[in-house]
Each structure stands twice: as structure tokens, then as C-alpha cells.
A and B are shown apart, each in its own frame.
Chain A
Amino acid sequence: MGRFRTNRFNPWTNLQKTIGQKKTEAIDGDVQVFKSEHLVNIPNPYEKEKRLCILCKMNIVPDYKNTRMLSQFISRFTGRIYGRHITGLCRHKQDHVEKEIKKSREAGLMPFYFRNPEFSHDPKLFDPDNPFRPHHY
């Protein structure tokens, strides 16, 4: 049970407790009142933590002048913009990034068919072979 935090309610132990509670009540009398301080109106203990995309987390607004940042979202070999399932951006940020890359190319700041070799060894934000959601092929 390592994945549950200590301050969080552990569903298994309390489930055992309430089952025991219910049994004794049934023996005691005919009035069955299900009293439980737990298991009612609690947040889902299995809910995963909310994930944010890297641009939302860092609070970055993509801009066409920032070619170094935008270059991280295009292929080093073909210059194509990686899809949302690879970059792991939310819908809005992905659209924004694509728009800014197109603006930047139109202005002559960024190449169309490759990534600027200066930025070849920039840290990778994602792995195209290991996408956030599966490839469609």
C-alpha cells in the first residue's frame, strides 16, 4: 500500500471495520442504522493527480521570436511539427505553438525543412518513440 499517503484514508482497513459494525448491529436489534463516518462523501482515493502540460506548468506563452523554444517542438530531421500525442501539450497550447512556428517561418526566423543545427543538442522535452498517447499507426 505504498502508493497511499499516510494522511489519506485507507479504504481497506475501514471497509473491514464497517463490515464488522454492520454485523454487530444486526445481532443487537431489528433496527438497522448504517452509521459510518467513512466511505461517505469522501474524495475518490484512486483519483490520479492532475497533470499539467509543460508550458502550462511553467506558465510560458509561446512567441514567434523565441525560436529556440519553438525548435524543441519540431523534428530535427524533417522540420515537421510533432503532434499533440507526442509533445504532451494541451489542445490550446499545441494550437498556439503551431501558429507561432508558422508565423516564425513566415518571418524568416526559422527554417521549414530542418531544425537549426545550433539547437540540435537542446534538452528533449519528449520522446517521439515513446508518445504520451499511442501513434495512430
Chain B
Amino acid sequence: MPSYELCLLFKVLPRPEITQCLKRTASKIFETGGFIRRIDNLGTADTPWKISSHDAIHKQASYFIVEFDVPSSALDPFNNYLSRDIDIIKRTIFKVPENIPQPACTLHEELKPPAYRSEVKEMIAIGKRKREKEARKKVQFNTGLDYMPFQR
């Protein structure tokens, strides 16, 4: 089961109702055979733009982050369920990336003059290969003469 992160924007509601909403969402995750790793409350804040959902315009929302694991086949129905919940303004599900090793910093190489940069060297090599290919395509009259005996 892959890990997912759900960014939930609830309507601004009193505390007990928010708990109800979260419980609903959580129980839906458990129904699909998943489990919850963490729930973060990011608090109530102004939304960056006016969001209209379920026939109402919202300028404020309570932000929650839910980290959970569900089978990937259950994700689409779950998203559909959230879209029909009228207390949810907006929801976005992201896949949590695996632990990718961070590559070493390449800034030092990138700040070198163009002629010393490996990517520029590569580009020059590509151009050179292309020119060679075109030169090979050109017809060569192997007459052994340094002039053109026939009209072209």
C-alpha cells in the first residue's frame, strides 16, 4: 500500500462539527482497508483565492493534512467520496515520495564559464556529430581530379 498525503480544506465550522467531518473522512479510510499515519491541523486561514464549491463562495478555510495508506485501487472511490462531502471546500491527494537520496550540489560546476560546463560540452559534441553526418550525406565525386570535368 503506497503512502498518500491528503490536503483538506474544510469550511470554517465550530470545533465539534470539524471533529465530525474528520471522523467521517477517517472512517472512510478505515473502511477501504487503509490506515492513518498522522493528522496535522494547519489552522484556519484565508484561502489564496475565492473558492466556490457546493454553491457557496469561501474566503476562509480550516486546513488539515492527513497522511494515510490505502490500496491504490481504493483511491479513486475515496476521492469521489470526498468530492461529494459538502463540508469539504477543496481536497488534493499527493503521493508521498519514497526516500530519494539527495544528489550532491552541482552549483559549483554550473557557475563555471560555458566552455567548462559538461552540458555545454555535450551540446558541442551533438553539433559536431550532426555536421559530420551531413558531410557524409554529401555526394563525393571520386574522380581523383581537383576540378569538375562535367557540368553540374
Contact = CB atoms under 8 A, between A and B. Distances in A.
B48 A90 contact: no
Contact of B92 (A92, A107, A116): A107
A50 interface: yes
A51 B108 CA distance: 5
B contact residues, range: 20 to 34
Chain A at the B interface: SS class: loop
B63 to A, nearest CB: 7
A109 B7 contact: yes
A90 B102 CA distance: 12
Given A108-B9, A109-B7, A61 B108 contact: no
A112 interface: yes
Given A64-B94, A92-B102, A107 B107 contact: no
Contacts of A107: 7, 90, 92, 94
Interface of B: 7, 9, 42, 47-49, 51, 61, 63, 65, 89-90, 92, 94, 102-108, 110-111
Interface of A: 50-53, 56-57, 61, 64-65, 84, 88-93, 103, 105-112, 116, 132-133
